Structure 1
Amino acid sequence: MSDPAILVLDEGTTSTRAMLFTADGAMLSSAQQELTQHYPAPGRVEHDATEIWHRTLACAREMVEKAGGADRIACIGITNQRETVVAWDKSTGEPLARALVWQDRRTADFCERLKAEGHEAAVQDHTGLLLDPYFSGTKMRWLVDNEPAVKAASDAGTLALGTIESWLVYKLTGGTFISDASNASRTLLLKLGGSQFDDGLCSLFEVPKAALAEVTDNSGDFGSTLPELFGAPIQISGMVGDQQSATIGQGCLSAGETKATYGTGAFILANKGHDIPASSNRLLGTVLYQEDGQRTYALEGSVFVAGSLVQWLRDGLGLLGTAAETETLARSIDDSGGVVIVPAMSGLGAPHWQPEARGVIAGLSFATGRAQIARAALEAMAHQTYDLAQAFAADGAEWTSLKVDGGMSANDWMAQDIANLLDLPVERPEFVETTALGAAMLAAKGAGMVGSLEEASETMRGSLGTFRPSMENSVREARLTAWRKALAAA
């Protein structure tokens, strides 16, 4: 290896990874460890923050060794699942409770109370977000109210409440407490036009502002790792939420460009430039990235269950040996036999926003087998994407094509089905892990390896493949009719 590499820490929902990239965007190596999912009650999803740290560190050390030592790493970029909340004590650096994962719905009643009091319109106007337990702020409030150790730390002035990038940077540096603007914009506590967490929003959500991090750019010098972690300090120069990172990794740097990432959930973002976005169709306004204090924004639609549906079929029901089987099974039959799945295991996200909804499998018969269930699971991805396409169009952001990425998008059958149902070209990069690539691009800019994100995009992105629609209108309409009936049942 001639030039120093970029180390990316990609903190997902079900696993943590470390990946090595060259300066021109080629992935050299990766290490991955699964994360334990805790489900203490229906609608509750938790992680062990100590496990996240230890397994992330182990993966990072493997990559540093692979690179030939810390002096062969130019910089670190971090990307993460965005709304998960960690509470820790700043005096000890240790977690005070289990982390509440973005899928967790325990604050639904609190959100409903705020809606009933008439707060949602103002919250959406200020933050671009809706009152839903998905977002971080209500989780922070729940931890303070319900975990005695968290309340005690808050009273003592030692409490830290942060999203995963904050937690990792704190542990890597030995105490730097920051949150990048893209992650901070997912908390309900940051005004889209405000530089730091907002006093009024913290008061509304009953979150102690003293426990929150400093909001920063997405690229720059964020400090260096403790020397003992990797044998020598390494600069941290990029931080970004996973969906914003994938948008950057897909090269959606101009207003109007749109991408969809299919991972644990499915997330679609359209670049809106420097104008603060507003939606009349229950889409979200969010910070795409911030450079030198100036923000680029995005309009977003979030689907809570995508790849996790296939994981449930594999691990929960035992219908699959591997996730890759879904493509073979889907191709083995002409249609789903009338089976439709609404994957509302964690409620319905955009554009429906019904946290109380639960999953539905409709159209079962004695002819239903593994193949029909697997195909219906993949078809659910296209159905949910179609609903979002309609909402984006109604908000004046109609798609002319769609760039897809994430682990699920490697499924050729699913990518073609999305193109068919949307009646639009779907573009997929040769390297589908664009979430990690976006973090590498930001880190490269923050470390001065490139002069701009545009330069990073030209240098580091690979070629694209295109799936073109080939479905008859009658078939499309029949699919959508069956989907709407099943959706009503959810």
Structure 2
Amino acid sequence: MSNGLILAIDQGTTNTKALAFDAEGQVVASAAVSMAVSYPQPGWAEQSATAIWQAVRTVIADVVARVGPDLDALAISNQRETIVVWDSRTGEPIAPAILWQCRRSAPACAAIRAAGHGELIESRTGLGIDPLFPAAKLAWVLDNVSGARDAAAAGHLRAGTIDAWLLWNLTGGEHATDHSNASRTQLFNTEALAWDAELARIFDVPLSLMPRVRPSDSAFGAAAAGVSALAAGTPIHAMIGDSHAALFGHGVREPGTVKATYGTGTSLMTLTSGRIMSRSGLSSTIAWSTSAGVAYALEGNISVSGQAVAFMGSLLGIPDPAAVAALAATVPDSNGVTFVPALVGLGAPYWDPDARGSISGLALGTTPAHLARAAVEAIAFQVADVFSAMEADLGQPLGRLSADGGAARNDMLLQFQADLIDRPVLRGELPEVSAAGAALLAASGLGRNTTRPKGREDQFIPQMSQAARQAALSGWLAGVGRVLQRDQIT
């Protein structure tokens, strides 16, 4: 007999989590496994696709051991823009999962841009040409793994984002994805809602590899017997990219609110009244889709945010990012130090894959605490850049920012964030918003209530004077300008 629970998988870059939600949307059990990332060459980032699947099996088993195997549904929220290619005959990946942070496809992206394809690609996908997106990474795998193109031509290969890889393994062979994940591949026409043959030709990727695309709250398949601790037949009833899931989990259903997920990188997303193209360095994307239709959004992707604090910690000899944040809180400001964490290039709204990070404003009075403070502030400055770009695209002010993610637990960061954007910043009681959003979508697919339970909410109100705000932003923009100018010179 079913226990009325929905199990949500949140498969992220640094952690894989499973959370069981009851009918009221409360978490009754959870488990987590940390994930390793490999950097085999400068600018490259990858993970073992097999390790990702094994981590999902582990957290499912941990939760099922506590709540039982007879769940109403499984929902998947996943790291986006990471691509996996596998052999359909063996189910084995033919290469590591190439992560969203990986820049190995930068030369191919530059060549596609130089060939004049940028306008067409952006008009059909809403995405500017950048190594962040999977299409060029997929072509790289086909070109650099021995026999891959022949295997693809013979119909033996499958490719997809992490949701599709997990679905294949959970079900024993279902190959599908949802609109939110498909919209991030740069092979999907977000107006026609279909894989695009011309985009496939430009990137030199056969569309036969790609999964079927379905609404985010679909019944994607059922758990196969023996592949996990789930009872055979458990429906997989929602799949959605993690940033999109967080927006849904925050309860955002209309334009006017921005969601920021402060993770390894940061994604800001806001719903739009329809499909619009950005003029300010943002991406147009599909937020989610249900039987009611497709919801569109604007998004800004920041490549390095929370990771900036960990990186600064490594330079200071402090391995714990929380200790770096605590050190930052011991000083009232950065004492003029600006850290631009362009460690894998700059994402939105600048989109410069060749930019490299800088620390400026050093003086004899600079202390490790000032460097730590500059790293924390860099997160908020990058978010403020994207928030401003969103307001420019929409032509009107946004009311507030809703925060989630690991770094959002830092009160100092969120207060500084509210000061920079001059808007309230809200942080909900439930930290695992992406998992909650996926579970709510599964509840929608099951015909249940999809209202997120109300809990305690922390609110950070702007306190900084206009003059101080402008001075802080001017200093940051000058630092970004130096990074961009140096890239142009070199």
With normalisation by structure 2, the TM-score equals: 0.95
Taking only the aligned residue pairs, the percentage that are identical comes to 39
Matches within 5 A, 1:113-132: 113-132=111-130
2:309–2:325 contact (8 Å) kept in structure 1: no
TM-aligned CA distance change 1:257 to 1:475, over 3 Å: closer
Letter in 2 for 1:83: E
Structure 1, 360-369 or 4-13: larger mean CA deviation:
360-369
Structure 1, 170-179 or 402-411: larger mean CA deviation:
402-411
Q: Once the 2 structures are TM-superposed, how far is the Cα of residue 476 of structure 1 from its aligned partner?
A: 1.4
Measured in 2, the distance between the counterparts of 1:160 and 1:460 equals 38
Residue 207 of structure 1: aligned partner: 205
1:220–1:447 contact (8 Å) kept in structure 2: no
2:2–2:72 contact (8 Å) kept in structure 1: no
Residue 231 of structure 2: aligned partner: 232
Q: Once the 2 structures are TM-superposed, how far is the Cα of residue 265 of structure 1 from its aligned partner?
A: 0.6
Runs of 5+ consecutive residues of structure 2 not aligned to the other structure: 484-490
Q: Once the 2 structures are TM-superposed, how far is the Cα of residue 126 of structure 1 from its aligned partner?
A: 0.8
Letter in 2 for 1:206: D
Structure 1, 229-238 or 424-433: larger mean CA deviation:
229-238
Residue 61 of structure 2: aligned partner: 61
SS in structure 1 of the partner of residue 20 of structure 2: strand
TM-aligned CA distance change 1:219 to 1:342, over 3 Å: same
Q: Does 1:286 align with 2:285?
A: yes
Structure 1, 13-22 or 360-369: larger mean CA deviation:
360-369
Provide, for residues 220-272 of structure 1, a one-character-per-residue CA deviation record: whole Å limited to 9, x for no partner. 21111112122622211010001100000011111233211111111111111
State the Cα RMSD in Å. 1.6
Q: Once the 2 structures are TM-superposed, how far is the Cα of residue 318 of structure 1 from its aligned partner?
A: 5.1
SS in structure 2 of the partner of residue 239 of structure 1: strand
Residue 456 of structure 1: aligned partner: 450
Provide, for residues 42-97 of structure 1, a one-character-per-residue CA deviation record: whole Å limited to 9, x for no partner. 11001110111111111111111111x211x2111101111000010011111001
Measured in 2, the distance between the counterparts of 1:167 and 1:281 equals 33
Letter in 2 for 1:258: V
Q: Does 1:365 align with 2:358?
A: no
Residue 429 of structure 1: aligned partner: 428
Q: Once the 2 structures are TM-superposed, how far is the Cα of residue 119 of structure 1 from its aligned partner?
A: 1.2
Structure 1, 138-147 or 381-390: larger mean CA deviation:
381-390
Residue 486 of structure 2: aligned partner: none
Q: Once the 2 structures are TM-superposed, how far is the Cα of residue 330 of structure 1 from its aligned partner?
A: 2.5
Q: Once the 2 structures are TM-superposed, how far is the Cα of residue 213 of structure 1 from its aligned partner?
A: 0.5
2:74–2:236 contact (8 Å) kept in structure 1: yes
Runs of 5+ consecutive residues of structure 1 not aligned to the other structure: none
Residue 245 of structure 1: aligned partner: 245
1:97–1:149 contact (8 Å) kept in structure 2: no
SS in structure 1 of the partner of residue 24 of structure 2: coil
Letter in 2 for 1:456: T
SS in structure 2 of the partner of residue 372 of structure 1: helix
SS in structure 2 of the partner of residue 240 of structure 1: strand
Provide, for residues 399-452 of structure 1, a one-character-per-residue CA deviation record: whole Å limited to 9, x for no partner. 12111111111111100000011111111111122111101101111233x1xx
Counterpart of 1:83 (choices 62, 81, 84) is: 81
1:23–1:460 contact (8 Å) kept in structure 2: no
Provide, for residues 19-55 of structure 1, a one-character-per-residue CA deviation record: whole Å limited to 9, x for no partner. 1212212122221112121111111001110111111
Measured in 2, the distance between the counterparts of 1:367 and 1:321 equals 24
Measured in 1, the distance between the counterparts of 2:212 and 2:22 equals 30
Q: Once the 2 structures are TM-superposed, how far is the Cα of residue 117 of structure 1 from its aligned partner?
A: 1.8
Residue 6 of structure 1: aligned partner: 6
Provide, for residues 315-343 of structure 1, a one-character-per-residue CA deviation record: whole Å limited to 9, x for no partner. x3353342222443222112111111101
Residue 488 of structure 2: aligned partner: none
Measured in 1, the distance between the counterparts of 2:330 and 2:318 equals 15
TM-aligned CA distance change 1:302 to 1:255, over 3 Å: same
Residue 158 of structure 1: aligned partner: 156
2:256–2:399 contact (8 Å) kept in structure 1: no
Measured in 2, the distance between the counterparts of 1:322 and 1:26 equals 30
SS in structure 1 of the partner of residue 269 of structure 2: strand
- For this pair of structures, how many residues does the alignment match? 480
Q: Once the 2 structures are TM-superposed, how far is the Cα of residue 132 of structure 1 from its aligned partner?
A: 0.4
Q: Once the 2 structures are TM-superposed, how far is the Cα of residue 123 of structure 1 from its aligned partner?
A: 1.0
Residue 467 of structure 1: aligned partner: 460
Q: Once the 2 structures are TM-superposed, how far is the Cα of residue 462 of structure 1 from its aligned partner?
A: 2.8
Q: Does 1:481 align with 2:474?
A: yes
TM-aligned CA distance change 1:2 to 1:332, over 3 Å: farther
